[in-house]
Every structure is written in C-alpha cells, then in structure tokens.
Amino acid sequence: MPVVQIVIFGFALTNEVKNAKIAVLDNSKDEATTSLIAEFSNSRYFDVEKNLVSYNQVQQEFKKGKIKLAVIFPQNFSRDLQHLNKAQVQLIADASDPNVANTLTAYANAIIADYQNSITNNRKLPYTINTEMRMLYNPQLKGAYNFVPGVMAMVLLLVCTMMTAITIVKEKEMGTMEIMLVSPMRPQIVVIAKAVPYLLLSIVNIITILLLSVFVLELPINGSITLLMLESILFTLVSLSLGLLISAAVASQQTAMFISLVALFLPTVMLSGFMFPIENMPLPLRTVSNIVPAKWYYIIVKSVMIKGLGIKDIWKETLVLTGMLIFFLTMAIKKFKIRLA
C-alpha cells in the first residue's frame, strides 16, 4: 500500500505536462519556422507527432484525440519577420481539459519568446512574433468542461458499484439472501432484481447531472444526447456488474465498502484522467489506467458532450467498455454459482 501511494502520488499525480503530442502545420517551410519547430521538438514538454499539410487536417487530428496542441505557421513567416519585423503564429489547444491547455500554451509561448529573444540580440529593432491562441472546444477555459464528465463517472461508479455490492452483501449478512435462494426464485432473477433499482437511480442521476451542467454551469451538450445516454447506461451496467462481482466475492459489508473505495474510487479519481493527465504518467501507471473503466467512460463523455463527436470516433472506447461488461458479468455469475455448489 505505501509503495503504491508513493508511486501514485510521486509520479502520477502531477499537473505538469511532459511529452505532450503536438501537430505542426508549416505553411512557409523556411529557415525561421524550421528552427522554431526544432526548438519545440527539443523541448521535453513537446513531441512533434505530426507534420500536417493542410488546415483541414488540424480539425481531424484533434478529433482523433491524440494531439493536445497544434502550431500553425502562416506562409512567408521568415519574410514577414525579416522585413516587417513582425510575424504571426497560431496555437490551437484542445481545451476540453482546460488545465492542460493552459499549461501547454504557456510552454509554447515561452519557447516562442525564447526564440524571439535569441534572434533579436544583435538588432536595434526587435522582432516580434505574435501568437494567436485558440482554445478549441472550450473557448472560455471553463473548469466545468473537465469536471462534469469526471463527476459523472464518479457518481455512477459510487452509486452502482458500491451500493449494489453493499446491499447484496447486507442480504448475505442478514440471512435474507438464503431465504430468497431456497425460494423458487432463480438466483439470476434475484441478482438482477437487486440491480434494477440502482440502474434506474443512475439514469435519474445522469439526467440530473446533465440538466445541472446545461442550465447551471452553462455547459453545452454538443453531441447526441441519445448517444450520451446509451454510453452512460453502458458504463452503469459495467459498474453494476463490478458491484455484483464484489458482492459475490466478499462476506461482510465493511469488506465490500473497503474494496469499493480502495479498489475503485481511488483509481477512478486518480487514473481516469479526470484530475491528472494520463499522458504524463510513467508507463506502468498508464498501463494500469487501461483497466479502470472510468477512464474509457471519461473519454467517451468528453468526446460526445464537449467535442460533439459521434459513435464512429468513440467505437474503440465503447468496445472496451462492452468487453469489460461481458468479463465482469461472466465472472460474477461464475462466482455466484461456485458459492451455491
């Protein structure tokens, strides 16, 4: 436990952004842009992932979700700089995570300013490079864009997993579970009946969170609401089956609570990308984050709600969640049967 904590708190939980993937669209391809791009790739904060050839590609790259920042040089960058002493560069950041966007644009500005100073040194008239920034998806850099999807993941997980696990284990503790198992009711029906109220409760929760975020936090839902609801129900089912698995495996309410908290709540907060960017974590933690269901749901909600993307951009995440659902459910049913035999 202490080892895990040190590793998580020491390495993972940092808001510093390193090795952020960026795309470059160089329309002038001259001496100045080449050396500036070199500055970017030499910096430990940025990895130049893609060299784009047209402006249309910028939007596409952001949709894929890998690129956090795009740097765009206009035509004749060097010439403008030499003759007018002034040049323009555009930075476009993926502000669906406002903290990361802020940090990245600050780093990028610093690199550009550095370069500007280095070439101005022996000149009377200073060169100025104007940066124009665009915050994609979240122009006002509202924090809500970040935490609403995170809160949705957390609430659903808490309600579904923890409550389901605890109520079923409570029945085991009380002895009422046995009463139902000796009755003609099929065990599967008993378990499903226990899960249904929480499914309904979760749907009410999702609707409440969405209404609040739209009307109180003024957060738009850019994508399809139906898709968002379906994906949320999918995540709810994953959480429910996880709850069932826990309840089949443990015997007391305390254990159920402890497992739900330690094994689910903490990773959800820390490894879902909601509080701390996953990209900066060391490889082992990044790997572990893949088994946290909330991570995938978080990506889905952000994509649908904030970026307004459709199913064809999030089918991979959806597939992962579906796989998890099938896995947890099979395990839970198996566990349940073993207990009976």
Q: Does 251 participate in binding other proteins (rule CB under 8 A)?
A: no
The only residue of 1, 3, 125, 182 in contact with other proteins, by rule CB under 8 A = 182
The only residue of 183, 215, 283, 312 in contact with other proteins, by rule CB under 8 A = 183
Number of residues that bind other proteins (CB under 8 A): 13
Cβ partners under 8 Å of residue 44, min gap 6: 18, 19
Q: Does 230 participate in binding other proteins (rule CB under 8 A)?
A: no
The stretches of the chain forming alpha helices (DSSP H) are: 2-7, 31-42, 55-64, 77-79, 98-120, 144-157, 164-174, 176-182, 187-215, 225-249, 253-259, 266-271, 283-289, 293-301, 311-340
Binding part of the chain for other proteins, among 61-69, 180-188, 307-315, 316-324 by CB under 8 A, reads 180-188
Q: 174 or 196, CB closer to other proteins?
A: 174
> 3-state class of 51 per DSSP?
strand
Q: 86 or 339, CB closer to other proteins?
A: 339
- Put residue 76 in one of left, alpha, beta given phi > 0 → left and psi -120 to 50 → alpha: left
Cβ 195 to other proteins, closest distance in Å?
17
Q: Are 293 and 243 in contact (CB under 8 A)?
A: no
Cβ 163 to other proteins, closest distance in Å?
15
Report the half-sphere exposure of 106 (CA within 13 A, side-chain side): 9
Q: Does 333 participate in binding other proteins (rule CB under 8 A)?
A: no
How far apart are alpha carbons 323 and 309 in whole angstroms? 22
Cβ 189 to other proteins, closest distance in Å?
10
Residues pairing with 5 in the sheet = none
Q: Does 121 participate in binding other proteins (rule CB under 8 A)?
A: no
Q: Does 291 participate in binding other proteins (rule CB under 8 A)?
A: no
Q: Does 196 participate in binding other proteins (rule CB under 8 A)?
A: no
Q: 256 or 300, CB closer to other proteins?
A: 256
Cβ partners under 8 Å of residue 329, min gap 6: 241, 244
Q: Does 338 participate in binding other proteins (rule CB under 8 A)?
A: no
Q: 7 or 181, CB closer to other proteins?
A: 181
Q: Does 1 participate in binding other proteins (rule CB under 8 A)?
A: no
How far apart are alpha carbons 62 and 312 in whole angstroms? 14
The CA-based dihedral angle spanning residues 231, 137, 147, 308, taken in that order and rounded to the nearest 10 degrees: -10
Binding part of the chain for other proteins, among 33-41, 101-109, 183-191, 283-291 by CB under 8 A, reads 183-191
Cβ 298 to other proteins, closest distance in Å?
36
Residues 158-177 that bind other proteins (CB under 8 A): 174-176
Binding footprint of other proteins on the chain (CB under 8 A): 174-176, 178-185, 340-341
